[in-house]
Copies of this chain bind each other. A is one copy, B any other.
């Protein structure tokens, strides 16, 4: 009997009871947080800094699948996804608000596990959970997170500051989260058909990219240390190609990016090959890599080259030259926004393919 995990129905606690129980686990650590959970609104002292604010939703059946996503990881990811957007402004996240519409299938213990993952992310990134909302959902669950960050006005970096000749730089490596998802989807399908236990051996890296992504807290700090001020910056969670297009459109430029410069981890590369997918396409359009894309002036090249966290993948051009990928033979392929689209069920299609110019 002792092995049966306890299960408390949400209706036993009710909304206020659940909020009290969750709120009791929250610790406030930020000096700028004047009031957290417990009043009509949280209160923030901006301390003379500009505030940045961003919201993202994760929807069951669209952004996550509870059959392979542990709840604690889901909570962690819901926070990280939002903080990534704050770092992409070259700002420091300080507070989050978390709203949850929870399926009745959830027990109190399940919600607590989800919350534990959120609080772990808050601790790791030094942000306070200061509010939100909790309610039931007739069907699937939805997590909606708002993140608030701050920075001196002059430190903020937008999408529209890129200029011709600026270098395009991407952090980390690409396509891993997408290939992790492919492995999980394949093993789920095998399990559903045959009942065979999932075979995830050897896929640690790409599974972690999908299930427990981190965002680039280190990058704004690294850039300050290198004395490099990006001219523009964007989070590439929707896929590199799509985000290069966003950045160019807002900056009024074109871009060339080079196939042989795209940072792809060997595990991602091999897995793409095993799935008969083109690694370049996966890197361009896979999405969910919580990495940053930014531009720097050409004269800053020496400051960043050789840094293991940064890859120069191309440069901005005159807008009339368009946006292209240069393949290993020097051929040009127009970039297309095959980015993961929230209105298409994730994983239902491949990541799209390159059209040839």
Q: A-side interface residues toward B, CB under 8 Å?
A: 10-11, 13-16, 18, 34-35, 38-46, 48-57, 59-63, 85-86, 88-89, 91, 95, 97-99, 101, 130-140, 142, 144, 146-149, 153, 156, 158-160, 233-235, 242, 250, 337, 339, 341-344
Q: Which residues of B contact A50 (CB under 8 A)?
A: 34, 43-46
Q: A11-B344, A97-B146 are in contact. Are A44 and B40 (CB under 8 A)?
A: no
Which among A18, A55, A130, A233 has the greatest number of chain B C-beta atoms within 10 A?
A: A55
Once bound together, how far apart are the Cα atoms of A147 and B49, in whole Å? 19
Given contacts A16-B337, A140-B139, contact A53 B34 (CB under 8 A): no
| Closest B residue by C-beta to A15 | B342
Known contacts being A91-B41, A144-B55, A235-B40, is A138 close to B139, with CB within 8 Å? yes
Chain B residues whose C-beta falls within 8 Å of the C-beta of A342 in the assembled complex: 15, 134-136
Q: Whole-angstrom distance from the CB of A137 to the nearest CB of chain B?
A: 6
A51 touches which of B46, B88, B101 (Cβ 8 Å): B46
Q: Would you list 30 pairs from A and B whose C-beta atoms are within 8 A, ordered by A residue? A: A11-B343, A11-B344, A15-B341, A15-B342, A16-B337, A18-B343, A38-B159, A38-B250, A40-B54, A40-B159, A41-B88, A41-B91, A41-B149, A43-B50, A44-B50, A44-B52, A44-B53, A45-B153, A46-B50, A53-B53, A55-B132, A57-B135, A59-B135, A59-B136, A59-B137, A61-B137, A62-B138, A99-B144, A134-B342, A136-B343
Closest chain-B Cβ to A296's Cβ sits at a distance in Å of 18
User: How many protomers of this protein does the assembly include?
Assistant: 2
Please give, as numbers and ranges, the residues of chain B lying within 8 Å of A144 by CB-CB distance.
55, 57, 99, 133, 142, 144
Known: A11-B343, A40-B89, A42-B54. 10 other contacts (CB 8 A): A14-B343, A15-B342, A39-B89, A41-B86, A44-B53, A53-B53, A59-B137, A59-B138, A62-B137, A139-B139
Query: Complex Cα distance A153/B88, Å?
Result: 30
Determine the chain B residues whose CB is within 8 A of the CB of A101 once the complex forms: 57, 59, 62, 142
